[in-house]
Amino acid sequence: MERSEPKPSQQVSFNLFQLTWPIFLEIVLFMLMGTADTLMISGVSDDAVSAVGIVNQYMFICILIMEVISNGASIVVAQYIGSKRYQEATKIVAVSITMNLVLGLTVSGGILLFGNELLNSMNLEGQVLAYAKTYMQTVGGFIFIQALINVFSSMIRTFGFTKQSMYISLGMNVLHITLNYILIFGKMGFPELGVSGAAISTVISRSIALLVFIWMLYRIMEVRMVIKDYVTLSKEYMGKILKVGIPSALEQVTYHCCQIVFIYYVTYLGAEALASRQYAMAVSQYIYLFGAAIGMGTSIIAGRLIGAGLKDEAYKRVLTSVKWSLLLTVLVDLAVILFRYPLVSLFTDNGEIIRMTAQILVLSIVLETGRSLNLVLVNSLRAAADAKFTVYIGFLTMVGISVPLGYLFVFHWDMGLPGVWLAIASDEWLRGIIMWFRWKSKVWQRQSLVEPAPVSHGMEA
C-alpha cells in the first residue's frame, strides 16, 4: 500500500474520560469472559474450577511474557505520535507485530513440550490434575493467538481508537459465552465436552477476534504499513521497544510467579480453600478494573505528553488520575463487601467455600486500594521510560517481602487464606507508596525515547 501523510485535521484531541471509558468496558468484557468460564465450569465441578484457575495463572504469565513487545511498542509509539513522527511510528508498529508473532509461537511450543511437567510439579492430584492438563494443552498450544491480539489491540488503543477495541472485545465475549454453553454442556447436537469445551471455545473466539483486530488496525491507521516494514527489523526500534517492554514484563512475570507460590501455599489448606481463592479472584477483579482502566488511559496520555515535551503537564495529569482511581476503587469495594454473600453464592452452594470467600473479600478493602495506586503510577512511570525502577522495587517488595510474609502467615501463624491476602496487600501498599514518591520526585523527567515535537497543539490530554 502507498503511504499517506496524516492530515492535521485528523489529529485527535483526547482527555482521560474519552480514553478510559472504552478501556474500562473492554476490561469489564475481558473479565466477564473469565467469570463466564468460572460460572459455566462450576456447573461441571469445583475441581474443574480449581484446575482452570491454576492453568490460567500460568497462562497469565505466558501472556505477560508476550506483552514484552506490545507494552514496549505502545509506549514508544505513543511518544513518537506525541512528537508527530508518524512515519516512524508506523514502522515501529510493524516491527512489533513481527516480534510478537515469533515470540508467541515460541511460547506456544514451550507449553506443548513442558506444560504437563509444570502441572506435575504442583501439589495437585486426581481429577484436578487431569482437568488442568486438558485445559493447558489446548489453550496453551494456541496462546500465540493471544500474543497477536495483544499487539494489535494495544496499537489500536495507542492511536486513540479505544472504542473500536472495545467493540471487538464485546463480539469476542458474546461468541465465547455462546460457544461455552454449546461445548461445555453439549447443546445443539454437540457432545458434552466439559473443561475441554471451555478450552476449545477460548481458542475459537480468540482466533476470530484476531482477524477483526487485524482488519481494524489497517482501517484506522493514517500511515499504512507495507511488507518491507514487517521484515526490516530495525535495531534502533527493537532496542527502544525492549528497553521499556522487558522491564515491564519482568515486573508482571515476577508478580504472577509470586501468585503461583501463593497458590502452592493454598494447596496445603485444602480443596475448599483452593476453590475459595479462585472465586474470590473472580469477584475481586471487578474491584480493581477502574484502576486498571484509568492506569491504561493515563499511560497513553502521559506518553503523548512526554513525547510532545509537556512533562509538567504529564506530572499533574497522573496525580489527578491517582485520586480518581482511589476514589472509585473504594466505592466499588464497599459495594462488593456489602453484597459479598449473594455474589459468592452465584458460584457455589458449598457453605464452607462461601464462608471463606466472603471472609477474604472483606480484606479486599486493604488489598485493592493499594493495587489501584500501583496500577496508575506504575503504568505512568513506564510511559515515561522509567520502567527499570518499577522492576527493581517490584522484585524487592514481592519476592523479598510478600512471599516470605505469606509463608509466615499461612504456616506459622495459621492465618489460612486471609494470610495470603494480607501478604499480597503488604506488597501493593509498600510498592504504591514508593512509586508515589518516585513520581513526585520528577526523576523520570530526565528520560525520553524520542525528541519532542517543535510545536505541540491539537491534543488535550
Global pTM reads: 0.67
Dihedral (Cα; 419, 420, 425, 430), 10-degree rounding: 90
The tens digit of pLDDT for each residue in 141-161 reads: 898 998 898 888 888 888 778
Of residues 417, 93, 445, 382, the one with CA closest to residue 252 = 382
| Residue 74, all three cell numbers | 505502545
pLDDT band at 436 (very low <50, low <70, confident <90, very high): very high
Supply the DSSP string of 37-51, one letter for each residue: HHHHHHTT-HHHHHH
Spatial CB neighbours of 381, under 8 Å, sequence gap ≥ 6 = 387, 389, 390, 435, 438, 439, 444
Residue extents of the structural domains in the chain: 13-445
Return the pLDDT at 179. Answer: 92
d(CA 142, CA 137): 9
SS (H, E, C) 389-423: HHHHHHHHHHHHHHHHHHHHHHHHCCCHHHHHHHH
The tens digit of pLDDT for each residue in 96-120 reads: 888 888 888 998 999 889 888 888 8
d(CA 443, CA 429): 21
Return the pLDDT at 225. Answer: 65
For residue 34, is pLDDT > 70?
no
For residue 459, is pLDDT > 70?
no
Question: For the residues 188-204, what does the mean pLDDT come to?
Answer: 88
For residue 306, count other CB atoms closer than 10 A to its CB.
29
Would you say 93 and 73 are in contact if contact means Cβ atoms under 8 Å apart?
Answer: yes
pLDDT band at 164 (very low <50, low <70, confident <90, very high): confident
d(CA 21, CA 430): 29
pLDDT band at 364 (very low <50, low <70, confident <90, very high): confident
Give per-residue burial for 159-176: e unless 16+ CB within 10 Å, then b. bbbbbbbbbbbeebbebb
pLDDT band at 7 (very low <50, low <70, confident <90, very high): very low
Of residues 129, 416, 123, 130, the one with CA closest to residue 273 = 416
**Cα separations (Å) of 350 from 38, 45, 51, 271?**
15, 11, 17, 12
Rg value, the chain, Cα: 22
The tens digit of pLDDT for each residue in 39-68 reads: 788 777 778 877 887 787 778 778 777 777
pLDDT band at 182 (very low <50, low <70, confident <90, very high): very high
| Total residues found in the chain within this entry | 461
| Residue 227, all three cell numbers | 511488507
For residue 5, is pLDDT > 50?
no
Interhelix angle 16-42/195-220, rounded to 10 degrees, is 160
| Residue 413, all three cell numbers | 501463624
Among the residues of 7-85, which ranges form H helices? Answer: 16-42, 46-82
Of residues 347, 32, 24, the one with CA closest to residue 176 = 32
Which residue did the predictor score with more confidence, 236 or 175?
A: 175
Would you say 49 and 42 are in contact if contact means Cβ atoms under 8 Å apart?
Answer: yes
**Cα separations (Å) of 400 from 150, 245, 260, 396, 421?**
30, 23, 15, 5, 16
